[in-house]
C-alpha cells in the first residue's frame, strides 16, 4: 500500500513537472511570436512606409517570386514556362510548385484571405516552429532544461528573427527547422534499438522530402544536409541483426536506383555541379570575363566577428557561453554530437563566406547555451540560492537578444511609392510589354505590374547584370534605346551568337555591339562590313546582321527608373560600365538630396546640405566642405548652368519641380539615367515620357531603330548627306 501511495505521489509530481515544462515551452513560443510580430505596431503607425492600398508589403524582394507563383496557383495560370522572366527566353517553373507557394495558395483558397496578408504573417508563424526540434534535441542531449533554454535562444537569435519575421516570405523561415528536425529524426533512428527506430527513419525521410521540396532553389543542398545525419547513424550507430540489416539496405538500394531512373543516371554529377556553382556564388569567385554579382549583394558579404556576435546573441558573454557549451557537448558526448556536424559546418560558413548563413548559427549557439545551462543546473540543483542565480543568469544572457529584437523595425524593401509605380506600369503599358528595371525590382515588378522583365532575384548573373546596366550607365541615348530593343528580341543567346562570329572574343564582341547599336542601322553597315564576321546560325551577310541588331518586330519596351537607383548607383553603374578587356568598371559618386529650397545665394537640402551659390562651396551636415565645379538647375522646359572656374570639382544638379537634387561626378552626370531621372531631358526619338514622378519613379517608352532591307538605297543617300554635312 505504501509503495502504491508513493508511486501515486511520484506520478502527480511528474505530471506537475510536465505541466510546468509545457507552460514554459508555450511561453517561449509566445515570446518568439512577439519578437516577430511586434513590428506590425510600427507599421500601423507609419502606413506610408509599409502599406499599399490598405494591405501590408513584404520585407524581402524574393518573397514576390513565391507570392507570384501562389497567385498563379490560385488563379489557375501556373504554366511550365514563365515568359515574364528572363526575357526573351523565359524560365521553366518548378514542378511541383514550391511548397511555400502551395501552402500560401491553399490558405488563400480555404480562407479567402488576400495573399498579401498571408505573405506577411505566414513567415512569423512558421518561424517559431524551430523551437520544436531544438527542444527535442536539447532534451535528448541534456534534459528538459537544455531543451527549454535551447528553444528560447533559438527563437531569439537576431538574424534568424530578421529572416523569419513579419513579411519575410521566403524559405528561410523553415530551412533551419527542417534541417534541425532531420538531425533529430536520424539521431533517434541511429540510437533507438527497437523496431521503433524505423518510425524515426520514416519521419526523417518525410522531413527530408519536405525540406527538399521547400528549399526549391537549393534542393540539392537540402538533400545533402539531411544525408549527413543519416550517414552518421548508419556509420556509427545503426547495428541491426543481419537479416534486418539486409532488408533495410535492400530497401535503401531500391529507392536509390529508383531515384536514378527518375532523375537520370548522371543525377549525382548534376548535384555536384549544382553545389559547385552555389559555392562559387557564395565565395564570390571570379566568373571570367564578367564580375561576380555576389560582391554587390549585402547578404553575401562576409561579416566581421563583431557582426556575427551582434546578429546571433547581441551579447559577447552569451556568444562565448554558446561556444563553450558547444565545445563541452562535443567533449562529453563526442559520438552523439557528430549529428550536429552539418549544423556547425553551415553556421561556420558565415565566418568565411556570407552573412546569410547566420540563420544556421541559431540552433548551434542555442544548443551550446542550452547544454551549458543544463550542466550548471545539474551541478547547482542541490544548492537553491546558486540555482536561482543560474536561472537569472540565463535570462540575463537572453535579454540582449530580446531587447534588440524588440527595438529593431524591419520595413518593406519595396516602399509603397515604388509599388504604386509598378501598379501604374500595369495600366500604362501593353500586356506584352517588357519593363527594363534593375534586377532587384524583377520579382516585385512581375507581381505588381504583371509585366515581363529581363532579370530578377535569381536570374542575375554577372554577365546578365552588366547588360542590365549598360543602357542606364551609357551617355548615348541611341545606344541605350537600341540596346534594350536588341536585347529584348535576341537575349543573351543572341549576344553569344555574335561573340561566336568574332571568334569568341567577348571584349571585342561587346565593344562592337555597342558601336553597331550606337551607329544605327545606316552607319552600322560599314562597321559590320569591316568587322570580319564569321557566318553563324543562318546569319551570313551584312543585311542579315543588320536585321539581327535592328529587328523590325519586338515586344514593347519600357524603362523603369526609380529612387532606389539613386542609392545603389555605386554598384549598378560599376556593372553597366564594365570593361571586359580590363575586367573593371567605374564606381561613380552620386548622392541624392530632397526637400531642396533656394533663398538668395543659398541652397538648403536634406541631411544638412548647404551650398553657397556665389562661391560654389558645398557644406554637409557633418561639416565636410567641398568645391563645386558646375551647378545645374533644370525644369521641364529649360536648363541653366553656373560654372565655377576650377580645374577640379564635382557637380550638383537640381530639379526644381520635385525639390530634388544630387551631387555627382562628371561621368555620372552624363549618364542616360541622370539625363532622364533628374534632368527630365531626353531625345524624344528614343525615349517618350509616360510617367514622370521623380524622385520616386519614372516610366519611359523606349523606341529603338529598325532595319528594312528595302530601304537600302535610301539609306545610302542618307549616309552621303550626313558625310556632306
Give me the percent of the chain exceeding a pLDDT of 90. 68
* Residue 430 lies inside a defined structural domain of this protein: no
434-436/557-562 β-pairing: parallel
**293 is written with which cell numbers?**
554579382
pLDDT at 513: 96
Nearest to 574 by CA among 473, 667, 669: 473
* Best CA proximity match to 628, nearest among 598, 602, 651: 651
Maximal CA-CA distance, the chain: 121
Specify if 371 maps to a domain: yes
Global confidence as pTM? 0.90
What confidence score (pLDDT) does residue 263 get? 64
Q: Kindly provide the b/e burial profile for residues 411-432, where b requires at least 16 CB atoms within 10 angstroms of the residue's own CB.
A: ebbbbbbbbbbbebbeeebeee
The pLDDT confidence band at residue 621, using thresholds 50, 70 and 90, is confident
| Side-chain-facing half-sphere of 248: CA atoms under 13 Å | 16
Whether 315 is covered by a domain: the verdict is yes
Residue 291 near residue 335, CB atoms below 8 Å: no
DSSP 338-379: GGGHHHHHHHHHHHHT-GGGGGGHHHHHHHHHHHHHHHHHHH
- Is pLDDT at 272 greater than 80 in this prediction? no
Q: Quick: pLDDT tens for 425-477.
A: 999 999 999 999 999 999 999 999 999 999 998 888 889 999 999 999 999 99
Cβ contacts of 332-338, under 8 Å, gap ≥ 24: 333/141, 335/236, 335/237, 336/141, 336/187, 336/191, 337/141, 338/232, 338/236
The 10s digit of each residue's pLDDT in 656-702 is: 999 999 999 999 999 999 999 999 989 999 999 999 999 999 999 99
Quick check: 264 pLDDT over 70? no
Burial class (CB in 10 A: 0-12, 13-18, 19+), 556: middle
**Per-position b or e across 350-386, b if 16+ CB within 10 A of its CB:** beebbbbbbbbbbbbbbbbbbbbbbbbbeebeeeeee
369 part of a folded domain: yes
The residue segments making up the domain with residue 243 are 2-37+133-278+301-407
pLDDT for 723: 44
318, 324, 329, 331 alpha-carbon torsion, rounded to 10°:
180
Give domain status of residue 200, yes or no.
yes
E-assigned strand segments in 373-472: 434-436
| 322 assigned to some structural domain | yes
Residues across the chain:
725
Whether the Cβ atoms of residue 674 and residue 664 lie closer than 8 Å to each other = yes
- What is the rounded CA–CA span in Å between residue 283 and residue 442? 24
* pLDDT number for residue 678: 95
Q: How many CB atoms lie within 10 A of CB 258?
A: 10
Residue 253 lies in a domain: yes
Do residues 472 and 576 touch, judged by C-beta distance below 8 A? yes
User: How many structural domains are present in the chain?
Assistant: 1
Q: Which three cell numbers stand for residue 300?
A: 553575401
Residue 608 pLDDT: 92
Any domain includes 330: yes
Indicate the SS3 state at residue 532. coil
> Taking a C-beta distance cutoff of 8 angstroms, is the pair 435, 429 a contact?
yes
Q: Is the pLDDT of residue 514 over 50?
A: yes
Q: Over 692-703, what HEC string results? A: EECCCEEEEEEC
Q: Where are the beta strands (DSSP E) in 636-710?
A: 639-643, 650-655, 660-664, 687-693, 697-702
Q: What is the mean pLDDT of residues 318-333?
A: 94
| pLDDT one-digit tens code per residue, 572-606 | 999 999 999 999 999 999 999 999 999 889 999 99
The residue among 501, 503, 526 whose CA lies nearest residue 515 is 526
Q: Do 439 and 717 touch, CB atoms closer than 8 A?
A: no
CB distance 346 to 179 below 8 Å: yes
How confident is the model over 24-51, as a mean pLDDT? Answer: 95
Residue 712 pLDDT class (50, 70, 90 cuts): low
Report how far residue 272's alpha carbon sits from residue 72's, in angstroms, rounded to the nearest whole number.
32
CA pair distance 628, 478, nearest whole angstrom: 30
- How do strand 609-612 and strand 660-664 relate by DSSP bridges? unpaired
Mean pLDDT, the chain, rounded, equals: 89
105 CB contacts (<8 Å, ≥6 apart)? 70, 71, 73, 74
Distance of CA 467 to the CA centre of its chain: 20
The rounded distance, in Å, linking the Cα atoms of 590 and 575 is 15
Which residue has cell 514593347? Answer: 556
Per-residue pLDDT tens over the stretch 328-385: 999 999 999 999 988 898 888 888 777 888 899 999 999 999 999 998 888 876 676 7
Amino acid at each position: 500500500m505504501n509503495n502504491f501511495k508513493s508511486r501515486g505521489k511520484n506520478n502527480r509530481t511528474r505530471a506537475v513537472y510536465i505541466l510546468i515544462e509545457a507552460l514554459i515551452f508555450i511561453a517561449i513560443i509566445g515570446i518568439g511570436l512577439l519578437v516577430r510580430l511586434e513590428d506590425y505596431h510600427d507599421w500601423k503607425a507609419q502606413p506610408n512606409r509599409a502599406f499599399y492600398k490598405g494591405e501590408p508589403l513584404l520585407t524581402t524582394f524574393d518573397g514576390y517570386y513565391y507570392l507570384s507563383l501562389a497567385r498563379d496557383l490560385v488563379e489557375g495560370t501556373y504554366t511550365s514556362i514563365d515568359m515574364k522572366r528572363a526575357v526573351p527566353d523565359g524560365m521553366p517553373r518548378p514542378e511541383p510548385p514550391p511548397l511555400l507557394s502551395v501552402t500560401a495558395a491553399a490558405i488563400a483558397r480555404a480562407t479567402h484571405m488576400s495573399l498579401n496578408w498571408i505573405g506577411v504573417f505566414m513567415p512569423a508563424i512558421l518561424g517559431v516552429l524551430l523551437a520544436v526540434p531544438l527542444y527535442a534535441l536539447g532534451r535528448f542531449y541534456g534534459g528538459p532544461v537544455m531543451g527549454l533554454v535551447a528553444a528560447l535562444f533559438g527563437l531569439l537569435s537576431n538574424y534568424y528573427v530578421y529572416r523569419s519575421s513579419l513579411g519575410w516570405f521566403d524559405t528561410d523561415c523553415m530551412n533551419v527547422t527542417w534541417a534541425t528536425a532531420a538531425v533529430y529524426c536520424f539521431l533517434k533512428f541511429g540510437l533507438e534499438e527497437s523496431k521503433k527506430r524505423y518510425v524515426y527513419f520514416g519521419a526523417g525521410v518525410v522531413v527530408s522530402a519536405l525540406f527538399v521540396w521547400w528549399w526549391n532553389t537549393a534542393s540539392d543542398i537540402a538533400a545533402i544536409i539531411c544525408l549527413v545525419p543519416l550517414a552518421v547513424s548508419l556509420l556509427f550507430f545503426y547495428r541491426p541483426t543481419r537479416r534486418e540489416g539486409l532488408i533495410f539496405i535492400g530497401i535503401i538500394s531500391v529507392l536509390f536506383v529508383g531515384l536514378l531512373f527518375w532523375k537520370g543516371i548522371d543525377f549525382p554529377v548534376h548535384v555536384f555541379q549544382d553545389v559547385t556553382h552555389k559555392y562559387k556564388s557564395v565565395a564570390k569567385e571570379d566568373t571570367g570575363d564578367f564580375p561576380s554579382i555576389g560582391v554587390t549583394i549585402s547578404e553575401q558579404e562576409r561579416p566581421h566577428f563583431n557582426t556575427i556576435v551582434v546578429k546571433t546573441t547581441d551579447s559577447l558573454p552569451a556568444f562565448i557561453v554558446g561556444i563553450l557549451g558547444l565545445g563541452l557537448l562535443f567533449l562529453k558526448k563526442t559520438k552523439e554530437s557528430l549529428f550536429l556536424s552539418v549544423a556547425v559546418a553551415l553556421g561556420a560558413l558565415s565566418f568565411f563566406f556570407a552573412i546569410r548563413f547566420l540563420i544556421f548559427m541559431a540552433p548551434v549557439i542555442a544548443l551550446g547555451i542550452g547544454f551549458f545551462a543544463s550542466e550548471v543546473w545539474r551541478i547547482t540543483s542541490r544548492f537553491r540560492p546558486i540555482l536561482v542565480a543560474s536561472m537569472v543568469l540565463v535570462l540575463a544572457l537572453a535579454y540582449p537578444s530580446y531587447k534588440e529584437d524588440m527595438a529593431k523595425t524591419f520595413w518593406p524593401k519595396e516602399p509603397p511609392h515604388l509599388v504604386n509605380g509598378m501598379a501604374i506600369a500595369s495600366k500604362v503599358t501593353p500586356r506584352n510589354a517588357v519593363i527594363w528595371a534593375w534586377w532587384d525590382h524583377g520579382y516585385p515588378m512581375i507581381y505588381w505590374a504583371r509585366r515581363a522583365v529581363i532579370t530578377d532575384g535569381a536570374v542575375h548573373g554577372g554577365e546578365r547584370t552588366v547588360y542590365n546596366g549598360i543602357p542606364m550607365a551609357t551617355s548615348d541615348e541611341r545606344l541605350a534605346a537600341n540596346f534594350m530593343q536588341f536585347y529584348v528580341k535576341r537575349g543573351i543567346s543572341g549576344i553569344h551568337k555574335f561573340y561566336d562570329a568574332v571568334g569568341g572574343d567577348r571584349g571585342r564582341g561587346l565593344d562592337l555591339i555597342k558601336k553597331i547599336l550606337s551607329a544605327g542601322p545606316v552607319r552600322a553597315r560599314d562597321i559590320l562590313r569591316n568587322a570580319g564576321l564569321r557566318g553563324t546560325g543562318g546569319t551570313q551577310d551584312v543585311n542579315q546582321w543588320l536585321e539581327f541588331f535592328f529587328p523590325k518586330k519586338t515586344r514593347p519596351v519600357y524603362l523603369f527608373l526609380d529612387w532606389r537607383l539613386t542609392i545603389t548607383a555605386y554598384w549598378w553603374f560599376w556593372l553597366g560600365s564594365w570593361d571586359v578587356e580590363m575586367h573593371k568598371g567605374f564606381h561613380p559618386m552620386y548622392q541624392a538630396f530632397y526637400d531642396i529650397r533656394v533663398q538668395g545665394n543659398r541652397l538648403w537640402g536634406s541631411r544638412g546640405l548647404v551650398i553657397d551659390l556665389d562661391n560654389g562651396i558645398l557644406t554637409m551636415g557633418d561639416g565636410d566642405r567641398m568645391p563645386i565645379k558646375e551647378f545645374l538647375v533644370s525644369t521641364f522646359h529649360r536648363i541653366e548652368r553656373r560654372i565655377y572656374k576650377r580645374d577640379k570639382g564635382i557637380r550638383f544638379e537640381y530639379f526644381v519641380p520635385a525639390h530634388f537634387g544630387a551631387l555627382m561626378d562628371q561621368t555620372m552626370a552624363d549618364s542616360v539615367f541622370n539625363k532622364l531621372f533628374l534632368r527630365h531631358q531626353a531625345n524624344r526619338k528614343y525615349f517618350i515620357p509616360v510617367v514622370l514622378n521623380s524622385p520616386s519613379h519614372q516610366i519611359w517608352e523606349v523606341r529603338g531603330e529598325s532595319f528594312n532591307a528595302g530601304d537600302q538605297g535610301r539609306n545610302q543617300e542618307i549616309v552621303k548627306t550626313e558625310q556632306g554635312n
